[in-house]
Amino acid sequence: METKHWTVSQQSFDTNVMEEAAALLRKGEAVAFPTETVYGLGADATNQQAVRKIFEAKGRPSDNPLIVHVADKEQLKDLVDDVPEVAYKLLEAFSPGPITIILKSKGRVAPNVSAGLDSIGIRIPSHPVGLRLLQEVALPIAAPSANISGRPSPTKAEHVTHDLDGRIAGIMDGGPTGIGLESTVIDCTEAVPVILRPGGVTAEAIQDVIGTVMVDPGLAKGEKEKPKAPGMKYTHYAPEAPLYLVEENMVLHANKLSEAGEKVGIIATEELAQTLQDKHVQVCGSRQDLSTVAEHLYDALRHFKKSDVSVILCESFEKTGVGAAIMNRLEKAATGWI
């Protein structure tokens, strides 16, 4: 398949490009586009054949549900049975933005979107290019991250091209994404909302708006559990070489591995990198501002190739605030801890 490539400015939109990309989506093709979190691989959520192309291009397990992206709250309401008050509060506070809300489905999306569940996750992205495309196509668009399943999610169009060129109809380059980690997924179908995946909106920020919120125990369970949301079950985000998380003594562990004949790559913050000047280091942001780590994490995970290193060590973080989302991704990407 020949993949079309478009470059779109976030400040001004090329109408012809938007119309061409929207036309492909209406025809049942899969198109990658930027959101404020990561690049998404979109297809018409009401078209089962179109949605199947997402799974085929990514090599994604069919029991892993997809998030539906819409242009506004009215489109969201067309897809669900009810929007409870708590969901309205979340939409008002964080949407458009990096939050996905799970609600009871009206059954208007294709069955392979929800993987057999009676609920669907819906969000309104805030990235100007992605949002404009949704407005142009005027359809609900199912869109997981635009990468081969299991690899680090794409935060640049070049990441999408590396994974999916020739496998999908189009790639829309809207520049680097801003947040860098996927949306927070919160289930609002129960009396007490449940965070199913930590992400761009922290648990603390959600609690400030709606009060009590739970964290799903499925986040810590094994692969036998049926996933309620993307990112809960399968190994994700893995780089090419084995990745190990390090709690302390990075220099000691790196030296031991080097002495054993390993070619070691290190993912570290600016602060730690200053102590590793003779090492092969990829800086992922500042420990003083973990939003910078979130923004650059996937790019860092994609940086090291098997030809360059045989093992990757990565700094670890406290599981509070955005650190909870960072560690959720790192633990799914890692072979283990040392």
61 shares a domain with 8: yes
> Is residue 226 situated within a structural domain?
no
pLDDT for position 10: 85
> Is residue 228 situated within a structural domain?
no
- pLDDT for 6 beyond 70: yes
- pLDDT for 113 beyond 70: yes
pLDDT tens-digit map of 281-292:
999 999 999 999
> How far is residue 317's CA from residue 216's CA, in Å, rounded to a whole number?
21
283 shares a domain with 137: no
Binding residues: 37, 60, 64, 69, 123, 143, 145, 153, 183, 197, 237
- pLDDT for 233 beyond 80: no
209 shares a domain with 150: yes
Nearest residue to 11 (alpha-carbon basis) of 148, 158, 171, 127: 127
Residue 77 maps to which CATH number?
Answer: 3.90.870.10
> Is residue 63 situated within a structural domain?
yes
- pLDDT for 44 beyond 60: yes
Q: Report percent pLDDT > 90 for the chain.
A: 88
pLDDT tens-digit map of 127-182:
999 999 999 999 999 999 999 999 999 999 999 999 999 999 999 999 999 999 99
Is the distance from CB of 54 to CB of 43 less than 8 angstroms? yes
pLDDT for position 151: 95
Specify the number of domains making up the chain.
Answer: 2
Residue 310 maps to which CATH number?
Answer: 3.40.50.11030
pLDDT for position 224: 45
210 shares a domain with 163: yes
Whether pTM exceeds 0.85? yes
41 shares a domain with 96: yes
161 shares a domain with 303: no
pLDDT for position 223: 45
pLDDT for position 56: 97
170 shares a domain with 250: no
> Is residue 232 situated within a structural domain?
no
259 shares a domain with 116: no
pLDDT tens-digit map of 189-212:
999 999 999 999 999 999 999 999
Four-point Cα dihedral 221, 227, 231, 237, nearest 10 = 70
The residue range of the domain holding 39 is 4-220
249 shares a domain with 208: no
215 shares a domain with 249: no
Binding residues for ATP: 60, 64, 145, 153, 197, 237
Binding residues for L-threonine: 37, 69, 123, 143, 183
> Is residue 82 situated within a structural domain?
yes
> Is residue 233 situated within a structural domain?
no
Nearest residue to 119 (alpha-carbon basis) of 106, 132, 138, 130: 106
pLDDT for position 217: 79
pLDDT for position 240: 94
Is the distance from CB of 141 to CB of 66 less than 8 angstroms? no
57 shares a domain with 15: yes
pLDDT class for 230, splitting at 50, 70, 90?
low
In the chain, % helix, strand, coil (3-state, to 5) comes to 35, 20, 45
Residues 6 or more apart whose CB falls under 8 angstroms from that of 88 comprise none
- pLDDT for 51 beyond 90: yes
> Is residue 269 situated within a structural domain?
yes
pLDDT for position 236: 74
| Summary mean pLDDT of the chain | 94
Nearest residue to 16 (alpha-carbon basis) of 176, 175, 131, 172: 172
196 shares a domain with 52: yes
> Is residue 23 situated within a structural domain?
yes
Helical ranges in 225-321 per DSSP H: 250-259, 270-273, 290-303
> Which is more confidently placed, 108 or 222?
108
Mean pLDDT of 65-80: 97
pLDDT tens-digit map of 302-327:
999 988 999 999 999 999 999 999 99
> How far is residue 225's CA from residue 211's CA, in Å, rounded to a whole number?
28
